[in-house]
Amino acid sequence: MTRSAHIVSRRRFLRTTGVAAAGATLLARAPAALGQQVRELNVWHTEVEPQTVKTIQDTSIAEFERKFPGFKVRQQALGWGDLNTKLLAALAAGGPPDLTHLNPFMTASLYVKNLLRPMDELIRALGENDIHEATLKLQYFDGKYYGVTHAMGATYFCERRDLREKKGVKPPETFDDMLKLCAALTEDGRYALQVPGEKLYMGFVHPAEWLASNGGTWADARTWRPQLNGKSMLEILDYLQQLNRFQPAGWSGQKYLDTQAALATGKIAMSHLSGARAIGYIEKYAPENMRDPEHFQPMLRPHGPSGQKGISALDGENWAVLTQSKYPSEAFEFLKLFYKKEHYLAYCHSVPIHLTPIFKSMLNDAAYLAHPRIKKWRLWHDVMLTALRDKRLLPLGFTRPEDNLLPFLAELDGSSIVADMVVEVMVGGKPPKAEADRAQRRAEELLTQLGHKRWS
């Protein structure tokens, strides 16, 4: 064959390319061209584990798309640290998702800006009385529900139970007990404890827990004046300064997952932040003969001198339908399918214990408890039930239930004011009072700038 036989004329090339492009466009738009419009239901959530994403796809989404043939559900899993920024950017751009997870601490700020749709009908359909009280009214404003928690997790200490029992020390009830336990467990190059260094945790989630466990609050309920240099916070800072002696020197530069690795490999005896995800680390990295709840168990938080009981953070974002949602009715229909028993069970089993069901009827349901990991690590589930029963859980970043009305928690979290105070006191060894006063001044300035100043 001659070379010229292979040469394609320019006209022919353009014609072929044009026809191909038109064909591709037509194929892509085929349903629309055939009069069947494909609509996209955008769903954002914060459960990034691949098995969870797949479970949602195979259960709720599959059934939704069968029931609503004109719809395609697009789910997007985001790390929850990214959620706020991305969601606010999407809202500003006028293209938010139809259905999204929200961090409870930002729900109030969206509610006051009229950005949320009520979902009373959905809550009644799911069974208002069956939803656990720890979550039911977290997004309850002006007599209406504006959110429903997807599942419940909790932040506890994860401790080397065997080491503590060898020392003959009981689980700590108070800050003082905790310091004594830490002193007993720090030996032979092993540290007792490690707090995660991320600002989100050491500068927001844990300070909220410490305050709640020591009778303190972020802000005065009436005037919203910050309470960062009050008695409660000063006691906490004093405790933290002492606690720091039992931590590795570089903790403030390490992350949550580093603390899990350090615990599993025996470098520390307790990780300060640990949910059921820690089980995955233990099963992967701990010595084989120690991968069990006899060696690793969760431990509830101690309380401070001004508090009554130790409080842990309830890790549970809520679903919300935004006023800008393009398909709100379908979003609610999707949620009904999400909470359908078999779908929801599969969802909760995708990360057992971390995704504890919100329905009271399911907490001791045989089908839920039958999962092999829950069977093996049953103690962890029981600690969760104890915390729920004793009301020792508050949503992430809350110092009391009424904090759901504070519209500035997201900004306070973002500001690093509290993180700077904690790190200066713990790592920098600065005097608690001076640092607390500085943080108080900065917080007052911030709230004034944001237009939330109600005090005189």
Contact residues: other proteins, CB under 8 A: 81, 85, 88-89, 91-92, 113, 189, 197-200, 202-203, 248-255, 258, 261-262, 267, 410-411, 413-416, 419-420, 422-424, 427-428, 438, 442, 445-446, 449-450
CB 127 within 8 A of CB 105: no
Nearer to other proteins, 292 or 420 (CB): 420
Nearer to other proteins, 352 or 407 (CB): 407
Nearer to other proteins, 8 or 249 (CB): 249
Q: Which strands sit side by side in the sheet containing 156-160, from one edge to the other?
A: 191-194, 268-274, 156-160, 296-299
Nearer to other proteins, 248 or 305 (CB): 248
- Copy the structure tokens of residue 355: 């995704």
Please classify residue 79 by burial: count the beta carbons closer than 10 Å to its beta carbon, then call 0-12 exposed, 13-18 middle and 19+ buried: exposed
We find the least distance from the C-beta atom of residue 291 to other proteins, in angstroms, to be: 20
Residue 167 CB partners (closer than 8 Å, separation 6+): 181, 184, 185
Q: Which residues pair with 188 in a beta bridge?
A: none
3-class SS of residue 410: helix
We find the least distance from the C-beta atom of residue 319 to other proteins, in angstroms, to be: 21
- Copy the structure tokens of residue 18: 């044009």
Q: Which long-range contacts (CB under 8 A, 24 or more apart) does 168-174 make?
A: 171/299, 171/300, 172/299, 172/302, 173/302, 173/303, 173/310, 174/302, 174/303, 174/304, 174/305
We find the least distance from the C-beta atom of residue 69 to other proteins, in angstroms, to be: 35
Nearer to other proteins, 210 or 339 (CB): 210
We find the least distance from the C-beta atom of residue 46 to other proteins, in angstroms, to be: 17
Nearer to other proteins, 171 or 248 (CB): 248
Nearer to other proteins, 49 or 445 (CB): 445
Nearest partner of 52 among 298, 265, 354, judged by Cα? 354
Q: Which strands sit side by side in the sheet containing 71-77, from one edge to the other?
A: 71-77, 39-45, 99-102, 318-320, 148-149
We find the least distance from the C-beta atom of residue 189 to other proteins, in angstroms, to be: 8
We find the least distance from the C-beta atom of residue 123 to other proteins, in angstroms, to be: 27
We find the least distance from the C-beta atom of residue 259 to other proteins, in angstroms, to be: 9
